[in-house]
């Protein structure tokens, strides 16, 4: 075989084969675990948050190649963002950064968005003072 | 968990590196396709360029080709112990054959009755043909299978009514390799006077088939499963089954299947059938040894892995291993296998365009978590002991890598969820956990 055929584009394959930020965070400030209703897969994202900013992020995924790549990319994208920035994070950003996903695999990127939001929710629950700070922020258009 | 640092030592192929740098290629998806044997290819070659005639023509070019089709009919009949080669119809593949068998018999017997009986684990071409007929007013009973995937004979017997015009039971299951008790099924149908259709896609060329012994009225198979070309499907039909055409046009194939015959494929398919009949016992012996070595290797190297379907032995075809590896999903396993030169299939929902697990895994009552971790390996004649050993080593490494990435493995180790394969008594079930985190009722 002289050519390599892959199921996904090179960026997705790269994040699947060499996932970034895989694992758990010791002393995570927020952990979110969600399941995909469509296929039954599960994703977990852990965050370390300092001064209202996501300092570090890790993922663990039970799911397909797109799900693993999506969680890898999502954790890359959100590092360094403020909580309010992260709260408006959308799966489309993951899809764009990955250079596209097959239509049937879009839900895998939604799982990444949901896992991130669940982790933020967990953080806010554990740190009510942070919630007040976020709420006090002027909402930018 | 992360600090444990699972190392993935296999030749890791980056996206820019060609796959040919992988040390070994092992094709373990013979259920999907087999390479055309050189002697088959040689036999086909003149029928593209020299003997290009149409079998319907009355001149030399046509008559020569007609003769070649007759030879293939004999060879195909020989593979399934059919007495009369004229009972062999050529179709485009197994899907067309089962559509013709189901719809053809249903339409031909409409006045007699509009009820069909099929096993719950038939191929989609059977299941979807039946569904199509149900929308037009036919009724169908789907007969359940045991956890090993064998048809429940008492349920089958009870399902047959005076309105039943056809019973369809496959010989070997395409997913889990279960060999159905065809002789018993055949006796039952004969006693009730209902024609039996047997889908032999997964068995032809790999197991002895005797249509007379089963009393089968219809049998289908295709040559690309036993080293013939794609495009050479067969439907055997004896006089017991009335059938009408579902393709309308010329009077090819005795009026049962209109359309110009795919002559090169049919010629090659016939040669492949003759070779298959000849090498049948050798193929069974060879794949049987490899199957045992592969399962022994995988089950001793990998914890929490199980074989779905019957144990290797008289109830399971020697070519098939259907595996569930717990705490990881099937598509990831398939992709990493491919990147390491190993071609396999999976019944996980993530690899299906409908996001549903294989209906066969559902029918045997497999836990959703185990169905998600499904991989199907099907052996062939060219696989070697070295191939098998490479697959065992590589697959063990892949499982380790994916478990290292899986929240479920971690939660299992912490006692949050329990194993389905070997329950420890600690933690809740995977399904209950999945339902909790997805906010959906358990599967
Ligand atoms: S997460 Fe299930 S298909 Fe991708």
Is there a contact between B208 and B314 (Cβ–Cβ < 8 Å)? no
Residue A64 a catalytic site member: no
Test B12 with A60 for CB contact under 8 angstroms.
no
Question: Distance between CA atoms of B149 and B170, rounded to whole angstroms?
Answer: 11
Query: Is B393 buried (19+), middle (13-18) or exposed (0-12) by CB count in 10 A?
Result: middle
Query: Which has the closest alpha carbon to B169: B201, B137, B131, B139?
Result: B201
State pLDDT tens for residues B416-426: 999 999 999 99
Question: Distance between CA atoms of B106 and A18, rounded to whole angstroms?
Answer: 53
Report helix, strand or coil for A136: helix
B277: which residues sit within 8 A by CB, 6+ positions away?
B75, B78, B79
Length of chain B: 443
B37 pLDDT exceeds 80?
Answer: yes
Mean pLDDT of chain B: 92
Report helix, strand or coil for A50: strand
Higher pLDDT, B432 or B380: B380
Residue A57 is predicted with a pLDDT of: 98
Residue B3 is predicted with a pLDDT of: 36
For chain B, the structural domain boundaries read 26-33+280-438, 38-276
Distance B369 CA to ligand 1 centre (A): 13
Judge whether B91 is closer than 8 Å to chain A, CB to CB. no
Domains of chain A (ranges plus CATH)? 10-129 (3.90.1010.10)
Is there a contact between B276 and B200 (Cβ–Cβ < 8 Å)? no
- Rounded to the nearest angstrom, the minimum Cα separation between B429 and chain A is 14
User: To 10 degrees, the CA torsion angle through A82, A88, A94, A100?
Assistant: -150
Average pLDDT over residues B197-222: 98
Query: Which has the closest alpha carbon to B388: B336, B330, B344?
Result: B344
The radius of gyration of chain B's CA atoms, rounded to the nearest angstrom, is 23
Judge whether B385 is closer than 8 Å to chain A, CB to CB. no
DSSP string of A66-125, one letter each residue: HHHHHHHHHHHHHTT-BHHHHHT--HHHHHHHTT---GGGHHHHHHHHHHHHHHHHHHHH
Model confidence band, residue A3 (pLDDT cutoffs 50, 70, 90): low
Model confidence band, residue B127 (pLDDT cutoffs 50, 70, 90): very high
- Rounded to the nearest angstrom, the minimum Cα separation between B436 and chain A is 8
Nearest CA to ligand 1 atom 3: B350
Topology of B38-276 in CATH? 3.40.640
Question: Distance between CA atoms of B344 and B339, rounded to whole angstroms?
Answer: 11
Average pLDDT over residues B201-212: 97
- Supply the CATH classification number for the domain B26-33+280-438: 3.90.1150.10
Angle at Cα B233 formed by Cα B229 and Cα B234, nearest 5°?
130
Test B20 with A38 for CB contact under 8 angstroms.
no
| Active-site position among A13, A22, A39, A42 | A39
ipTM of the complex: 0.92
Test B349 with A17 for CB contact under 8 angstroms.
no
Residue A108 a catalytic site member: yes
């Amino acid at each position: 075989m002289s050519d390599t055929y892959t199921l996904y584009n090179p960026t997705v394959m790269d994040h699947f084969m060499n996932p970034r930020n895989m694992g758990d965070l010791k002393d995570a400030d927020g952990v979110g675990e969600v399941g995909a209703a469509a296929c039954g897969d599960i994703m977990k994202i852990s965050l370390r948050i300092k001064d209202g900013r996501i300092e570090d992020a890790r993922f663990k995924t039970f799911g397909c190649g797109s799900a693993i790549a999506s969680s890898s990319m999502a954790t890359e994208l959100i590092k360094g963002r403020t909580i309010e920035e992260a709260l408006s994070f959308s799966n489309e950003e993951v899809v764009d950064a990955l250079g596209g996903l097959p239509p049937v695999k879009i839900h895998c990127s939604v799982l990444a968005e949901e896992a991130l939001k669940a982790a933020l929710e967990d953080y806010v629950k554990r740190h009510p003072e942070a919630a007040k700070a976020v709420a006090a922020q002027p909402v930018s258009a | 968990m992360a600090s444990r640092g699972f190392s993935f030592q296999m030749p890791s192929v980056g996206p820019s590196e060609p796959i040919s740098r992988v040390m070994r290629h092992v094709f373990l998806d013979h259920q999907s396709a087999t390479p055309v044997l050189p002697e088959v290819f040689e036999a086909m070659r003149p029928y593209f360029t020299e003997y290009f005639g149409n079998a319907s023509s009355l001149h030399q070019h046509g008559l020569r080709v007609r003769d070649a089709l007759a030879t293939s009919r004999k060879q195909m009949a020989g593979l399934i112990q059919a007495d009369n080669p004229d009972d062999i119809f050529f179709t485009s593949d197994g899907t067309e054959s089962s559509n013709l068998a189901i719809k053809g018999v249903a339409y031909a017997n409409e006045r007699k009755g509009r009820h069909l009986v099929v096993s719950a684990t038939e191929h989609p071409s059977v299941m979807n043909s039946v569904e199509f007929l149900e929308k037009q007013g036919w009724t169908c009973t789907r007969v359940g299978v045991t956890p090993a995937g064998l048809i429940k004979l008492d349920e089958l017997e009870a399902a047959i009514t005076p309105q039943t015009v056809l019973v369809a039971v496959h010989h070997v299951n395409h997913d889990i390799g279960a060999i159905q008790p065809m002789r018993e099924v055949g006796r039952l149908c004969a006693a009730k006077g209902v024609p039996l259709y047997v889908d032999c896609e997964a068995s032809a060329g790999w197991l002895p088939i005797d249509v007379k012994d089963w009393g089968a009225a219809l049998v289908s198979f295709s040559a690309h499963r036993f080293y013939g070309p794609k495009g050479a499907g067969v439907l055997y039909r004896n006089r017991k089954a009335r059938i009408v055409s579902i393709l309308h046009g010329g009077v090819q194939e005795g009026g049962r299947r209109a359309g110009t015959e795919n002559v090169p494929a049919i010629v090659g398919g016939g040669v492949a059938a003759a070779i298959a009949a000849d090498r049948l016992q050798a193929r069974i012996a060879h794949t049987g040894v490899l199957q045992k070595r592969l399962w022994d290797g995988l089950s001793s190297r990998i914890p929490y892995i199980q074989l779905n379907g019957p144990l290797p032995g008289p109830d399971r075809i020697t070519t098939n291993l259907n595996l569930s590896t717990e705490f990881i999903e099937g598509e990831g396993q398939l992709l990493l296998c491919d990147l390491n030169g190993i071609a396999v299939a999976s019944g996980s929902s993530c690899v299906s365009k409908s996001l549903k697990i294989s209906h066969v895994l559902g029918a045997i009552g497999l836990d959703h978590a185990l169905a998600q971790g499904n991989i199907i390996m099907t052996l062939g004649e060219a696989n070697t002991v070295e191939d098998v050993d490479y697959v065992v080593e590589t697959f063990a490494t892949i499982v380790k890598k994916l478990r290292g990435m899986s929240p479920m493995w971690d939660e299992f180790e912490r006692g949050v969820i329990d194993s389905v394969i070997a329950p420890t008594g600690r933690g809740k079930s995977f399904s209950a956990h999945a339902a909790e985190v997805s906010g959906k009722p358990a599967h």
